[in-house]
């Protein structure tokens, strides 16, 4: 799924870092993204807590999704597309639907 997530993000002109397990230095590895997507059904509570704590300082938008499907990621990116110049991302030229 990691490669699928990265490809979907690439289609939306977004850079992606995908973590399936919590590395020891997660707080340093996340950096300051425009959007943090957490698939809560596939990661540990500790990882969710550490990820949210590390980005809360920078006012990063956080989206939590129980579903970790590729369709869920596409919907999230369509809603929160940072490259969109229109009011509705569903009509965005960066949208791959």
**Residue 85 above 50 pLDDT?**
no
The Cα–Cα gap between 84 and 89 comes to 6
Q: Kindly indicate the confidence band of residue 39, based on its pLDDT and cuts at 50, 70 and 90.
A: very high
Alpha carbons 40 and 49: distance in angstroms, whole number: 11
8 Å CB contact between 55 and 36: yes
> Per-residue pLDDT tens for 1-26?
889 999 998 888 888 889 888 888 88
Q: What's the CA gap between 74 and 97, in Å, rounded?
A: 9
Query: For the chain, what's the residue count?
Result: 97
Count how many Cα atoms sit within 13 Å of the Cα of residue 76 in the half-sphere of its side chain: 23
> Which tokens belong to 61?
């938008």
pLDDT at 65: 92
């Amino acid at each position: 799924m990691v490669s699928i997530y990265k490809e979907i993000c690439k289609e939306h002109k977004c850079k992606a870092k995908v973590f399936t397990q919590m590395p020891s230095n997660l707080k340093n590895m996340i950096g300051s993204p425009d959007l943090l997507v957490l698939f809560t059904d596939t990661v540990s509570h500790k990882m969710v807590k550490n990820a949210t704590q590390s980005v809360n300082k920078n006012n990063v938008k956080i989206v939590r999704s129980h579903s970790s499907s590729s369709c869920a990621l596409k919907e999230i990116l369509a809603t929160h597309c940072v490259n969109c110049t229109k009011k509705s991302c569903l009509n965005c030229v960066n949208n791959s639907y």
